Amino acid sequence: MELTRFFQTLETNFPLCGVRPALAEKIGSDVAGALERAGLLSVLRVADRYPCPQPGGEGCPRHIMETGNGSHVAVCGNDPAECEEMRLTPRDVELLGVVPERLLEQLRSPLQISGTVREIIGIPQAYQVGFFIPQPAIKHPVFFLTAASATQYAAMLEALRSRAEGGSFAVVTPTDRFIPPETVRQFRTMGVPIISLVDTVRLSPAVTLEATTNVLDLFATIGRRTAARVSSVTEVFADALTPQGWKSLTEKEYRDLASTAGIYQIFADERARTACKLEGRQRRSAKGIQPSFFRMLRKAAEASGRFDPNVNGLTEEQLSGKQIFQRARQAIDLKRSSGWVLFKTETVDDHAEYLFQPDADVTFALIFLPKS
């Protein structure tokens, strides 16, 4: 079960709570029921207010009153009354809510996080969920943040970053709709992945949270600093992919790298639309390479696992994704007797898919235009 509405509502109403009928309306009754069975929505207490159709005067929303023998009624507090009186069942008056610690504890299994959940003193709506431990003796803290605006998120991320004093960590948020892609990218280059729960977990039929994606891929960039000190995202002039991984380049770094093109067995530059490669002893250069070739290879290189250009690539008039991919590889990748050096072909269910898996001995630099 997808939890999109739940995470969106949680994000702007943290910590989400309300009487059962109101929550069912906000996030869908199926989802609300399943979350309650999962223990992600808990009964907090008997509510004292009940929503009314058009909150009006000071007496709104309706007040919940006991009428004896356990039944309740919601009464408008305005004089004269503006909302209708309502009889309520015992289930209607229970105030359900998300207990942040309980939600975050349930994230630890699908996200492979260990340790204790605790609030972060001094940053409201921020928690340490635990640690991601890629191998013994290396552990990276994982933080949960939630905010209702881009400004709030920016401030919280900055607070975490300055407290970490250069250490690596990961950030989990309900959705990524308030976090600009430049921010995600800037943090990624600092070795800090920002992970959106909407894209990462759902509710299994057994009502537990389960990962919808490979968790190790999500955390793959943690601690892997790829950026030179780029003080502002506006300075990113190009992105480079080398055997050391991705790196954002300033204009000067781009010029420096481009001037050393000759030392690489494979070098390609989306800015200049050029490529050159060392075939045997012969260096072959090409100009005017199509931008779509670079975009396609970038998608393939960024894919986690195998890449199907017909499904995840791009198409152009007359050309299928596969055709563009193959032409792009022809133009930029290098073919040896053992096969392609950067992008391997793998046959899956009778069709070809591709895997970015450079030969260990190849030297290469692929330069792309910065994203966005």
Kindly list the residues in this chain that would bind Zn ion in the complex (CB under 5 A).
52, 60, 83
Q: Which is nearer to Zn ion, 54 or 69 (CB)?
A: 54
**Least Å distance between CB 77 and Zn ion?**
8
First-last CA distance in the chain: 32
341, 327 in Cβ contact below 8 A? Answer: no
**Least Å distance between CB 46 and Zn ion?**
19
Q: Which is nearer to Zn ion, 86 or 99 (CB)?
A: 86
Q: Which is nearer to Zn ion, 18 or 130 (CB)?
A: 18
Q: Which is nearer to Zn ion, 64 or 328 (CB)?
A: 64
Residue 306 has, within 13 A of its CA and on its CB side, a CA count of 12
Rounded to an integer, what distance in angstroms lies between the CA atom of residue 328 and that of residue 326?
A: 5
**Least Å distance between CB 75 and Zn ion?**
10
Rounded to an integer, what distance in angstroms lies between the CA atom of residue 26 and that of residue 51?
A: 12
For strands 86-88 and 72-75, give the pairing. Answer: antiparallel
Best CA proximity match to 18, nearest among 47, 60, 38, 55: 47
268, 367 in Cβ contact below 8 A? Answer: yes
Q: Which is nearer to Zn ion, 58 or 350 (CB)?
A: 58
**Least Å distance between CB 314 and Zn ion?**
53
Q: Would you state the structure tokens that stand for residue 300, as one six-digit string?
A: 């393939």
**Least Å distance between CB 58 and Zn ion?**
10
**Least Å distance between CB 62 and Zn ion?**
6
Query: Beta partners for 46?
Result: 94
Residue 6 CB-density burial (10 A; 0-12 exposed, 13-18 middle, 19+ buried):
buried
DSSP 319: B
Q: Which is nearer to Zn ion, 86 or 164 (CB)?
A: 86
